[in-house]
Chains A and B, each alone.
Chain A
Amino acid sequence: MEKIQQRPIEIPQASHPLAEVGNVTKKVRKRILLKDVSFAVEQGEICGLLGPNGAGKTTLIRVMTGLIRPDSGDILIGGRSVVREREAAVANVGAIVESPIFFPYMTGRENLDNLALLHPNLPDRKARKRRIEEVLEVVRMDKRADEKVKTYSLGMKQRLGIAQALLGDPQLLILDEPANGLDPMGIRELRELILKLKTEFGKTILVSSHLLDELQKICDRIVVIREGEQVFSGSREEMIGSSGSLEDAFVEMMTR
């Protein structure tokens, strides 16, 4: 894993956070999916996106990865606009959106090889091969990589999902409900992996979940949305605030 560590990490100027979500609004017909959501993710931190099912977390992640366009507002990643210069902006992003779905007729390694072809920073076969081995090792999937994806358990698919997100060595990782379908051991392993990606590889991570304790153990910052509206953005300590516990604070936000 030394190779990854040796790569210089481009740190944007101190005044610029790595990702800025600015006044993002998205409507589908008359339904408001996101309303004026704004927050920033600083370089090197883990930001938790918290909200009940159907709050708009996946929609926000789709907007941030350029899968859908906001009606108004913008997202800057490394100073580049996802709306106006998507390709440049998402070159710095790796993501799992909604759930890790792969081409089921290929093996894990073939899926990674297929997707690695689409990264400008992996121009030749040798670089791709090396990178694929690196990411497989990070997520500890090297043993089963040559089996067809349709034989994988959900936990393995989640890990392969993280592997494909890491392919382009992005600064920002966006993980949508990565703990979905994992057993307690799997959740613990995932937590350790996310912390390792932050501390060892210097990744900035946005992770969404509807599970409170999953996030509170790893996040530096928490953004809470409810029915498409942002109800909180701040540090973990700020969120606990006067309520005494994160759970109480969350329940209070949801029932307010």
Chain B
Amino acid sequence: MNNKNKVGLGNMVRSEAQRVFKRKRTWAVLIVYMAFALLECVFLTMMNTSFYDPRRSVALDSLNTAPFLLRELAILMNFVVIPMLAADSFGGDVSSGALRTVLIRPVSRAKLFGVKWLVLGLTVGGLTLFTWAVGTAFARIAMPAVEETTLMGAGRLDSSGALGFTLGFYMLAFCVFSALIGIGGVVSRVLPNPVLAYVGILAVIVGGLYVSDRLSFLLSVSDSLFRFLGGIPGSDASLAWMLCAMLAGCAIIGTWSWQRRDWTQ
């Protein structure tokens, strides 16, 4: 088959995006998340303090506040937003049988898996960007104004340095979220029923703790990211490697199983 006879990636993405965003609950969960992001801002102004991890507190100011929004919001993301979106997208459409109408079309199933991951990644990426933007803007408006700040691992930072740090922090957080979406894809292939897929994803997050401390970053996203970026020795020092392994593992298992396994639903 030459390229002319292949379905363009753009059309596949549009098709998947339509399916994701025609579901009312997708919008519901996005709106709930954004509302909590705004509430979190109010919470941080009241507290003026947050934590790198349970042992290290930090005074918040106009430059260093943005990453600390994720301390609470990442839990909402990993326990509600991502499991819901992933269970619906990778599991729900499969177990209802509706995805059959897609699977019988002349498109690569490995690509279908990749496109699902991509569309959810873009959605969650949008939320991550939103959180960063709201956090940054809000801190500059409402938190004590400073010229310089300190962030663990980065030392003293000026305005642009702090902006760079927070961007890097959020990009890493996005990688953690993407890995969890990939895990959702793999879990849903084993348990396509959305109820089981949802709880299966949670079981991976919580069960990971009992397997190894190195997997704790799925639960304590921001603490782990701070410890990793701060160069603190311990279980989170290997975070980048674990993330890469997780992303690669899910990509390989996901594409392989979508390409090769029987579709009996």
Binding site for B on A (CB under 8 A): 62, 65-69, 85-88, 90-91, 93, 95, 97-99, 101-106, 110-111, 113-115, 117-121, 123, 164, 168
B residues contacting the other copy or chain, number (CB 8 A): 32
Q: How long is the Cα–Cα vector from A147 to B7 in the complex, in angstroms?
A: 28
Contact between A164 and B22, CB atoms less than 8 A apart: no
Please tell me if the beta carbons of B104 and A120 are within 8 angstroms of each other in the complex.
Answer: no
Residues of A within 8 A of B104 (CB): 65-67, 90, 93, 95, 97
Query: Residues of B with Cβ closer than 8 Å to A?
Result: 1, 4-8, 11-12, 14-15, 18-19, 22-24, 93, 96-98, 100-108, 260, 262-264
A165, chain B: closest CB distance, angstroms: 9
Bound complex: CA A86 to CA B6 (Å): 12
**Contact indicator B1/A62 (Cβ below 8 Å):** no
Asked if residues B19 and A67 are in contact (CB atoms below 8 Å), the reply is no
**Beyond A88-B1, A97-B100, A99-B97, is A120–B15 a contact (Cβ under 8 Å)?**
no
A62 to B98 Cα, complex, angstroms:
14
Cross-interface CB contact of B262 among A68, A90, A101, A114, cutoff 8 Å: A68
B97 is contacted by which of A85, A101, A168 (Cβ under 8 Å)?
A: A101
Query: In the assembly, what is the distance between CA of A66 and CA of B18, in Å?
Result: 25
Contact indicator A67/B100 (Cβ below 8 Å): yes
Q: A115 near B102 (CB under 8 angstroms)?
A: yes
CB pair B22–A110 under 8 Å, yes or no, is yes
Is the pair B19, A120 in contact by a Cβ cutoff of 8 Å?
A: no
| Most B Cβ at <10 Å: residue of A85, A90, A106, A118 | A118
Q: Are B105 and A85 in contact (CB under 8 A)?
A: no
The distance from the CB of B4 to the nearest CB of chain A, in whole angstroms, is 7
Q: In the complex, which residues of chain B have a beta carbon less than 8 angstroms from the beta carbon of A110?
A: 18, 22
Contact assessment for A114 and B97 in the assembled complex, using a CB-CB cutoff below 8 Å: no
For the complex formed, measure the closest distance between the CB of B258 and the CB atoms of chain A, giving whole angstroms.
Answer: 12
Indicate the member of B6, B19, B104 with the most A CB atoms within 10 Å: B104
Pick from B18, B100, B262 the residue with the most CB of A within 10 Å: B100
Q: Smallest CB-CB separation from A121: which chain B residue? A: B5
On whether the beta carbons of A90 and B106 are closer than 8 Å, the reply is yes
CB–CB B107/A118 < 8 A: yes
Q: What B residues does A67 contact at CB under 8 A?
A: 100, 103-104, 262-264
A120, B7: Cβ atoms closer than 8 Å: yes
